[in-house]
């Protein structure tokens, strides 16, 4: 089923020419058919979006990430993962997002891959791309088997192979891979916390919904995956994205906040094994979109999808690795939030329009870092939606050409810890939260009651 997206925009933004969307990600596309533009936003003093964005707080965001780290790497199919899901649900309810539900599915890992014949094409873009790129989901961590991580540096400057989503890989590259050796974790208590192995079987993921006052039958999905890998705390991958989604759920659930359209906040499971949680959601629920149940009740268990916004690895943009593979110790001054869409998807034009709307929201409302738009979204839960609805992802760096080239040494490693990160890192995640909050508030017609305190 192919669903045409209607993006209801509360800001007058000229989005340029649609020609060449797939090839020119930095050229804003035209407004696709069905995109509705309304009147410009009010002055800052009267702007409900600015008021909502102002309620975001760095310390609260950090505290939510810290809370998630008490469950270690939250590897799917373990007690620590199930305990984290329970904790997330309890937090959502405490925010006032009390209509929590769980999607249930069964996960059975795919059989291990057989080694390719000598001379067979593998690596980035080939059959062995998942292993070569260090992904836990595409090859090595199907069933969480050990990954064959590349060692040392890849190619230097000048040329470049193909990265995820067809991204060109240029410049210095650092090592990537999945740590599957618990003994590499020097913290004994954390090693013990992460010691239980994963087992196949039933899985659950939790979500809650802000119900729209005028169009409850339509919704935007705001997501991030809560499972991790690496025998650490999964603070960045993906405590940072999970906490962002939870913070937005908290703010939109405040008693003085109303939205005309619905918003669903969902914390995916099994992202690291191949987006299984998101794919299960699409498989189970896409045919239910927009159907009132019971008839005449005004209730829509699965409102029509208007857009899906994913958050995955939000904190670390220290730049390209040096020639020796090391990275600068601090966030680079020119760090940015990368908003990506899949330029080859069926909904590429709609997704591009949504991505550029987030760029406009960042320009107007975000405080610390800008947005860069790209057209090579891959390897995250929004990919499960990309042929059904406008779908984008927010990240610390481009997934294919940067994260996949070793720009984040925390990725699936024992140093993905809360203590590894600084406030400059956390502020990049907060900027992404400001960006998504502002855009979703505009898209859903969010309003706040005057005179009500935070």
362-371 pLDDT, tens digit each: 999 999 999 9
State whether residue 365 is helix, strand or coil.
Answer: helix
User: Which range (19-28, 338-347, 411-420) has the least confidence?
Assistant: 19-28
Distance (Å, rounded) from C-alpha 286 to C-alpha 277? 14
Structure tokens at 69: 């780290």
Q: What is the mean pLDDT of residues 25-51?
A: 60
Q: Is the pLDDT of residue 309 over 60?
A: yes
State whether residue 309 is helix, strand or coil.
Answer: strand
Calculated CA dihedral for residues 405, 71, 241, 395, nearest 10 degrees: 0
Distance (Å, rounded) from C-alpha 170 to C-alpha 310? 26
Q: What is the mean pLDDT of residues 36-48?
A: 62
The pLDDT value recorded for residue 29 is 54
The pLDDT value recorded for residue 139 is 39
For residues 221-235, b (16+ Cβ closer than 10 Å) or e, as one string? bbbbbbbbbbbbbbb
Among 90-99, 161-170, 444-453, top mean pLDDT goes to: 90-99
Nearest to 383 by CA among 335, 346, 409: 346
Residue 453: burial class (beta carbons within 10 Å; 0-12, 13-18, 19+) = exposed
Residues 6+ apart with CB under 8 A from 287: 1
Residues 6+ apart with CB under 8 A from 240: 65, 311, 313, 314, 315, 429
Chain centroid to Cα 41, Å, comes to: 27
Residue 111 pLDDT grade (very low, low, confident, very high; cuts 50, 70, 90):
confident
Residue 293: burial class (beta carbons within 10 Å; 0-12, 13-18, 19+) = exposed
Structure tokens at 26: 């930095």
Residue 170 pLDDT grade (very low, low, confident, very high; cuts 50, 70, 90):
confident
Distance (Å, rounded) from C-alpha 128 to C-alpha 120? 10
Structure tokens at 234: 């999964």
> For 368-406, what is each residue's pLDDT tens digit?
999 999 999 999 999 999 999 999 999 999 999 999 999
Distance (Å, rounded) from C-alpha 445 to C-alpha 454? 19
Residue 59 pLDDT grade (very low, low, confident, very high; cuts 50, 70, 90):
very high
Check: CB of residue 335 under 8 Å from CB of residue 369.
yes
pTM of the model: 0.85
The pLDDT value recorded for residue 40 is 58
Q: Is the pLDDT of residue 215 over 60?
A: yes
Structure tokens at 75: 């590897």
Chain centroid to Cα 139, Å, comes to: 20
Distance (Å, rounded) from C-alpha 78 to C-alpha 142? 15
Structure tokens at 95: 């925010």
Structure tokens at 220: 């935007």
Residue 184 pLDDT grade (very low, low, confident, very high; cuts 50, 70, 90):
very high
Q: Is the pLDDT of residue 211 over 60?
A: yes
Residue 147 pLDDT grade (very low, low, confident, very high; cuts 50, 70, 90):
very low
Domains in the chain, please, with CATH? Answer: 8-104+202-448 (3.40.630.10)
User: Which range (160-169, 179-188, 275-284) has the least confidence?
Assistant: 160-169
Q: Tell me which DSSP letter residue 376 carries.
A: B
For residues 105-118, b (16+ Cβ closer than 10 Å) or e, as one string? bebebeeeeeeeee
The pLDDT value recorded for residue 328 is 93
Average pLDDT, the chain: 85
Largest Cα–Cα distance of the chain, in whole Å?
70
């Amino acid at each position: 089923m192919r669903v045409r997206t209607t993006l209801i925009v509360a800001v007058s933004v000229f989005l340029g020419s649609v020609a060449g969307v797939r090839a020119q990600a930095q050229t804003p596309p035209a407004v696709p058919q069905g995109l509705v533009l309304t009147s410009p936003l009010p002055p800052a003093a009267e702007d409900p979006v600015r008021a909502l964005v102002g309620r975001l707080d760095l310390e609260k965001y950090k505290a939510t990430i810290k809370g998630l780290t008490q469950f270690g790497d939250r590897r799917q199919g373990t007690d620590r993962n199930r305990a984290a899901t329970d904790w997330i649900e309890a937090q959502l309810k405490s925010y006032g997002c009390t209509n929590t539900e769980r999607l249930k599915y069964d996960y059975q890992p795919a059989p291990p891959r057989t080694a390719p014949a000598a001379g067979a094409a593998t690596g980035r873009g080939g059959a062995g791309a998942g292993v070569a790129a260090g992904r836990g989901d595409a090859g090595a961590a199907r069933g969480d088997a050990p990954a064959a991580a590349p060692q040392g540096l890849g190619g230097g400057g000048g040329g470049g192979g193909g990265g995820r989503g067809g991204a060109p890989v240029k410049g210095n590259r650092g090592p990537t891979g999945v740590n599957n050796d618990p003994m590499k974790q020097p913290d004994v208590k954390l090693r013990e916390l992460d010691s239980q192995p994963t087992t196949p079987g039933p899985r659950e993921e939790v979500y809650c919904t802000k119900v729209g006052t005028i169009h409850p039958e339509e919704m935007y999905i705001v997501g991030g995956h809560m499972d991790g890998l690496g025998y650490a705390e999964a603070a960045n991958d993906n405590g940072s994205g999970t906490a962002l989604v939870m913070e937005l759920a908290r703010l939109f659930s405040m008693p003085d906040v109303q939205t005309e359209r619905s918003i669903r906040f969902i914390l995916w499971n099994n992202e690291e094994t191949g987006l299984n949680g998101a794919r299960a959601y699409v498989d189970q629920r896409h045919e239910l979109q927009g159907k009132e149940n019971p008839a005449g009740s005004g209730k829509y268990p699965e409102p029509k999808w208007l857009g899906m916004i994913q958050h995955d690895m939000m904190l670390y943009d220290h730049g390209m690795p040096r020639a020796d593979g090391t990275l600068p110790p601090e966030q680079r001054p020119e760090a940015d939030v990368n908003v990506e869409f899949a330029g080859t998807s069926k909904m590429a034009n709609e997704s591009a329009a949504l991505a550029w709307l987030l760029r406009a929201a960042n320009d107007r409302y975000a405080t610390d870092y800008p947005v860069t738009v790209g057209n090579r979204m891959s390897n995250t839960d929004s990919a499960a939606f990309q042929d059904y609805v406008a779908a984008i992802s927010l990240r610390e760096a481009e997934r294919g050409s940067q994260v996949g080239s070793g720009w984040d040494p925390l990725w699936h490693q024992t140093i993905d810890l809360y203590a590894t990160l600084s406030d400059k890192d956390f502020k990049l995640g907060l900027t992404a939260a400001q960006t998504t909050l502002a855009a979703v508030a505009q898209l859903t017609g969010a309003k706040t009651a005057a005179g009500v305190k935070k």
